[in-house]
Amino acid sequence: MSKNNKSIIAYIKQLKRPFFTTGELAMLSGSSLSNITQKLNNLEKSGLIFKVTRGIWAEMGNEKLSPYSLIPFLLPKHITYVSFVSALNLYGIIEQIPQVITLASTIHTKKIHTGVGTFIIHQIMPGLFDGFDWYRGSGSFLIAEPEKALVDSLYLSTRKKKQFTYFPELFFPESFSFKRAGEWAEKIPDSRIKSVVKRKLLILKSS
């Protein structure tokens, strides 16, 4: 079957993942972006796919559909990792499921609304942009280690917008290392912020 005759659905299946972009389908098929967009709009009208956000689509009813799997597509030119309360929830440290997915990046703070969830990207200074890896070693998104996610949260709570000044009840597993969290806090260059974060860590450790 030639590229021109191959259906757009076949190209979508070829990618073997729930999310796909207009651009990559255009590359696979050799068609123009406008032509692919028209075909995708027709598939959406037929109820087979839906638009997640500009240039990003998903198959309707795909069982692998998860807002976390969308993260690498949101800012393809920037590294972004799950942190703060979203990471703490995934680790079971916070039971309450956050209404938005909280991410860390070096870009300016921004909120992104999509068809599968809302994401808030908080800016982390380059010197603290570390301590993350693939979720469970092989996931489709990056996530902060538990200790770094907590320190990220405490760090942000000292900033002007006063994010994360209140936590729901926290459940620290035996594997959680307050020593490791303290090491991350030591990397904060601002001495005032570092002092506040370390004090909050001590309170959490003793509570």
Mean pLDDT of 32-45: 94
Backbone angles phi, psi at 139, to 5 degrees: -70, 175
Cα–Cα distance for residue pair 76/40, rounded to 1 Å: 21
For the CA atoms of 169, 145, 124, 202, the dihedral, rounded to the nearest 10 degrees, stands at: 50
Mean pLDDT of the chain: 90
Q: What is the pLDDT of residues 42-89, one digit of tens each?
A: 999 999 999 999 999 999 888 788 899 999 999 989 999 999 999 999
Measured at the CA of 67, the angle between CA 127 and CA 140, to 5 degrees, comes to 60
Looking at the chain, list the stretches that DSSP marks H as alpha helix, in order from N- to C-terminal side.
8-15, 22-29, 33-45, 67-74, 84-90, 146-157, 178-186, 191-206
> DSSP of 42-91, one letter per residue?
HHHHTTSEEEEETTEEEETT-TT--HHHHHHHHSTTS--EE-HHHHHHHT
pLDDT in tens, 169-192: 899 999 999 999 999 999 999 999
Distance of CA 64 to the CA centre of its chain: 16
Rounded to the nearest 5°, which phi and psi values hold at 112?
-125, 120
